[in-house]
A and B are shown apart, each in its own frame.
Chain A
Amino acid sequence: MKAKRTGEAHEAVQRGGGPAAAPATFLALIPPNPGIDFIKLSPGMLVLSAVLIGLSLALLVYRGGLNYGIDFAGGTMVEVRFPQPVATSDVRAALGQADLRGATVQDIGGGSTDFQVRVQGGETEMGSAVADDVRRGLQAKFGEGSFDVLRVEAVGPKVGRDLWRRALLAVLASTVVMGVYLWVKFNFGFGIGAAVALLHDVVITVGALALIHLEFDLTTVAALLTVVGFSVNDTVIIFDRIRETRARLRKEPLETVANLAINETLSRTVITSGTAIAVTACLLTLGGAVIHGFAFTLLAGFVIGTYSSIFVATPVVLAIERRRGHRR
């Protein structure tokens, strides 16, 4: 984050003087009203959003879906750790000899010591058999006790299918719940605006996952749901301000009101999103391989969510309100 000073004094303490004192100034990244014409920018941004959504969907089609983890695809995942670096090709060879040619081997953490072995699908007697084969195959090649099994996950194909349905339902349900909540608290247009922005965020975040080929599993869905819950926060802050400003400036057109609201809340939007993005970046860099995908999804979603509050949610609300105004 770059500190943009306001030019005047940066004294954060308002000293004495009572109510008649000159307006105080504060340390601020963003001035109280930066005077950016967001509404004028929004058509261009909507094009950008449309392009991003199009790219996300195209990427999904091109890649033939996401890189589903075994939570969704079903199958077995075994993670092992060797005390010293081992060549990925050796691990692969060991599994090939153990009749596990379909297994994918991935060096996790990049140190050539931790490997993830994944065997997808397989309606066979689930789990144990495959995990055991992996263990035996590695033992045959590297010797007994030469590695540590970090974790084993095995999911039957039925569970995977069931999860898909529930994941989709959960994401849709939270989007609808958010929309309905804002509808009740504000009005119909605001509810729709928020819901559209949320769907926008989810689609583009999933696109980002597809782009870097990140494993899509249970925790990724949890992260997406969190993104939905968090992304709506900035939207609420702006909507709340629009409502307040509108009551104050009845004569002004809604575009002016919205622009003022976004500008006046820009500082808090940036800071609240910034703190969330900063802690998520900590998780991504320091949290380890297990929650890497989770943290990445949160980070991508938070960034997109902040953008969409300004450039998607608000323009949609304006469009709907204009229409309703015409009808009246």
Chain B
Amino acid sequence: MGSIGWRGGAFLALLLASAVVIAPTFASVPAWWPWQRTIRLGLDLRGGTYLLYQVEVEQAIDNAVDRRAGELEAELREANLGAFTVDRVGREIQVRLAAKDRRAEARRLVEDRFPDLVVSESAGGEAADLQLRLAERELSRLRDGAVSQALEIMRKRIDQFGVTEPTLQTQGQDQIVVQLPGIQDPQRAKDLIGRTALLEFKLLAEGPQAGTLQAPGPGIQVLPGDANGGGRTQYLVERRPILTGDMITDASVRPGGVGEGYAVDFTLDSRGAKLFAAATTQHVRRRLAIVLDGYVQSAPEIREPITGGQGQITGRFRIEEAQDLANVLRHGALPAPLRLLEERTVGPSLGRDSIRQGSVSFVVASVFIVVFMLLYYRGGGLVADLALLLNVLLILGAFAAFGFTLTLPGIAGLVLTVGMAVDANVLILERVREELRTGKGARAAIAAGYERAWTAILDTNVTTFLSGLILFQFGSGPVRGFAVTLCLGILTTLLTAVFATRVLYDWRLANRRVTTVSV
């Protein structure tokens, strides 16, 4: 019987530890208190926005192929290889030359200038003169890197947006979950996080080769103007950018002229500055389109060469827009476009309602169970109720100690656990009653009750636990919170309703004069 003290001590220690870690959640604790962290509440309770994005990796690859095709076209034109066409067929770039004898030359150019393109041998005949595709190395770089890069860039953007405790996680192969607690303006957050922010500088097409909006010339594309600035204007621009946003090192907001809103200044790195200087020197008097995510923000004329590596984007921005644009330019473009799959926003008032209603349900349900057990099983009910108290403390303690997130379904799971935890006690006590009815003494009845009820208790809890695991696998967010509570509740129930109550009985029956139990 010496082990009673040991086991009892262990449970008392658990009780104490739980009380210590959950105290900060329910009351303000002094600074010397060993645990300061409160139980983390899910977005459905504290209010906030949950966003599920898909990184369009395949789109990123398509874009990369597109970009290479544009660049290749420009390079070939500069190399004066005679008339040619560049077509995209799926993920393949096909080049056809009018002068077949210059094929080797074209091939050399590709190999020199485009190390990430590989030439697949053409079968001759009808086939193109050069068939090119992205190298495996480049493909896997795009596939593997896109999601983690996107996550990194999104994190930086959010950090500057000033949200407390944001969480970003990848989910599955190509999805990213963003949780922003207590956010007031989800729309702005979404615009900021989800925007690709690919900045390109492209010359406006000029002269006869520009073609028309309906039939743009070779190497020319039509881009729409940004709704904010140019309205519904469309622009004919050269497909190949002279500069892209990845060469920007810094960006800041600056007030524009009267009635012009705000503008964004940017600074280029040394390579970008050189490219920009060369291009603006060569193309003075032409107009340069500043293209953000495929929309022309503005297309100012290059009045003089810009050699300082600095520029400005104007577009009658509101202050927030300008701030967010500067933010995304500083941290670079996403490697692939994002698609918003799911959005869930809970306002702070609903969150407060849920906490209140969840707590009320919990209290009422608990009182009902406690009173019922006490009335029905008397002493045995009291023991079960004590175990239930310890059980709830342990669950909340685990939430606090391990940093699990409590959600509204999680509270529901807690309520449900209260209803199911006493089931183990019911099984034991009913069994003890049966044994007593056959005329056994208290000690024998208790021992037999625990022993015979055990297989059923274990089986019922294992099955519920298994369904909890499947639930966890299936669900996300709040549903996972429920699954966690359910599974956790099973473990603490076995610990408290079975083992802790046994300690109490053993302790009571250790006294030889006690020969009865109240059940």
Interface residue? A61 (CB, 8 A) = no
Whole-angstrom distance between the Cβ of A167 and the nearest chain B Cβ: 7
By the criterion CB–CB under 8 Å, are B474 and A166 in contact?
A: yes
Binary flags per residue of A145-189, CB closer than 8 Å to B gives 1, else 0: 000111111111011000000110110011001100110010000
By the criterion CB–CB under 8 Å, are A218 and B475 in contact?
A: yes
Whole-angstrom distance between the Cβ of B308 and the nearest chain A Cβ: 39
Interface residue? B466 (CB, 8 A) = yes
Give complex CA distance A243, B466 in Å. Answer: 23
By the criterion CB–CB under 8 Å, are B361 and A287 in contact?
A: yes
Cβ contacts under 8 Å, A212 to chain B: none
Say which residue of A159, A218, A240 sits within 8 Å of B479 (CB atoms): A218
Interface residue? B516 (CB, 8 A) = yes
By the criterion CB–CB under 8 Å, are A174 and B518 in contact?
A: no
Interface residue? A110 (CB, 8 A) = no
Give complex CA distance A149, B187 in Å. Answer: 13
Cβ contacts under 8 Å, B344 to chain A: 151-154
Cβ contacts under 8 Å, A156 to chain B: 339-342
Interface residue? B343 (CB, 8 A) = yes
By the criterion CB–CB under 8 Å, are A275 and B340 in contact?
A: no
Interface residue? B408 (CB, 8 A) = yes
By the criterion CB–CB under 8 Å, are B468 and A229 in contact?
A: yes
Interface residue? A282 (CB, 8 A) = yes
Cβ contacts under 8 Å, B437 to chain A: 23-24, 32
Interface residue? B157 (CB, 8 A) = no
Binary flags per residue of B455-474, CB closer than 8 Å to A gives 1, else 0: 11001101111111011011
Give complex CA distance A162, B315 in Å. Answer: 41
Whole-angstrom distance between the Cβ of B162 and the nearest chain A Cβ: 20
Cβ contacts under 8 Å, B190 to chain A: 128
Interface residue? B16 (CB, 8 A) = no
By the criterion CB–CB under 8 Å, are B354 and A279 in contact?
A: no
Q: How many residues of B contact A (CB 8 A)?
A: 82
Cβ contacts under 8 Å, B478 to chain A: 219
Interface residue? B198 (CB, 8 A) = no
By the criterion CB–CB under 8 Å, are B474 and A294 in contact?
A: no
By the criterion CB–CB under 8 Å, are B479 and A222 in contact?
A: yes
By the criterion CB–CB under 8 Å, are A15 and B361 in contact?
A: no
Closest to A295 in B: B412
Closest to A126 in B: B340
Cβ contacts under 8 Å, A294 to chain B: 409, 412
Closest to A77 in B: B344
Closest to A274 in B: B372
Q: Which stretch, B65-73, B227-235, B428-436, touches the partner chain A? A: B428-436
Asked whether A159 and B456 contact (CB < 8 A) given A150-B350, A275-B372, the answer is no
Interface residue? A276 (CB, 8 A) = yes
Give complex CA distance A249, B171 in Å. Answer: 55
Binary flags per residue of B47-71, CB closer than 8 Å to A gives 1, else 0: 0000010000000000000000000
Q: Which stretch, B20-28, B130-138, B362-370, touches the partner chain A? A: B362-370
By the criterion CB–CB under 8 Å, are A280 and B416 in contact?
A: yes
Interface residue? A47 (CB, 8 A) = no
Whole-angstrom distance between the Cβ of A21 and the nearest chain B Cβ: 7
By the criterion CB–CB under 8 Å, are B471 and A222 in contact?
A: yes
Indicate the member of B339, B353, B377, B460 with the most A CB atoms within 10 Å.
B460
Whole-angstrom distance between the Cβ of A289 and the nearest chain B Cβ: 9
Closest to B431 in A: A268
Give complex CA distance A304, B359 in Å. Answer: 27
Interface residue? A237 (CB, 8 A) = yes
By the criterion CB–CB under 8 Å, are B52 and A159 in contact?
A: yes
By the criterion CB–CB under 8 Å, are B471 and A225 in contact?
A: yes
Interface residue? A286 (CB, 8 A) = yes
Asked whether A286 and B364 contact (CB < 8 A) given A12-B519, A16-B515, A222-B409, the answer is yes
Within 8 A of B (CB), among A211-254: 218-219, 221-222, 225-226, 228-230, 232-233, 236-237, 240-241, 244
Asked whether A178 and B463 contact (CB < 8 A) given A150-B350, A279-B416, A283-B415, the answer is yes
Interface residue? B30 (CB, 8 A) = no
Binary flags per residue of A87-114, CB closer than 8 Å to B gives 1, else 0: 0000000000000000000000000000
By the criterion CB–CB under 8 Å, are A228 and B479 in contact?
A: no
Give complex CA distance A277, B423 in Å. Answer: 12
Binary flags per residue of B323-351, CB closer than 8 Å to A gives 1, else 0: 00000000000000001111111110110
By the criterion CB–CB under 8 Å, are A151 and B475 in contact?
A: no
Give complex CA distance A14, B435 in Å. Answer: 12
Interface residue? A272 (CB, 8 A) = yes
Say which residue of B412, B420, B471 sits within 8 Å of A170 (CB atoms): B471
By the criterion CB–CB under 8 Å, are B470 and A155 in contact?
A: no
Asked whether A237 and B460 contact (CB < 8 A) given A14-B516, A27-B376, the answer is yes
Say which residue of B415, B426, B459 sits within 8 Å of A272 (CB atoms): B426
By the criterion CB–CB under 8 Å, are B460 and A170 in contact?
A: no
By the criterion CB–CB under 8 Å, are A233 and B463 in contact?
A: yes
Cβ contacts under 8 Å, A295 to chain B: 412
Closest to B473 in A: A170
Whole-angstrom distance between the Cβ of B334 and the nearest chain A Cβ: 17
Binary flags per residue of B395-426, CB closer than 8 Å to A gives 1, else 0: 00000000000001100100110111011001
Whole-angstrom distance between the Cβ of B357 and the nearest chain A Cβ: 4
Cβ contacts under 8 Å, A29 to chain B: 376
Whole-angstrom distance between the Cβ of B174 and the nearest chain A Cβ: 12
Cβ contacts under 8 Å, A226 to chain B: 416, 467, 471, 482, 486
Interface residue? A144 (CB, 8 A) = no
**Beyond A23-B437, A26-B519, A222-B483, 14 additional pairs, beta carbon < 8 A:** A32-B437, A128-B340, A156-B340, A158-B341, A173-B470, A178-B463, A226-B467, A226-B486, A230-B420, A233-B420, A236-B460, A272-B420, A276-B416, A295-B412
Nearest 9 A/B pairs, CB to CB:
A229-B467, A279-B419, A288-B357, A170-B474, A282-B365, A279-B365, A150-B350, A272-B423, A233-B460
B-to-A contact residues, CB < 8 Å: 44, 52, 186-187, 190, 339-347, 349-350, 353-354, 357-358, 360-361, 364-365, 368-369, 372, 375-379, 408-409, 412, 415-416, 418-420, 422-423, 426-427, 430, 433-434, 436-442, 444, 452, 455-456, 459-460, 462-468, 470-471, 473-475, 478-479, 482-483, 486, 515-519
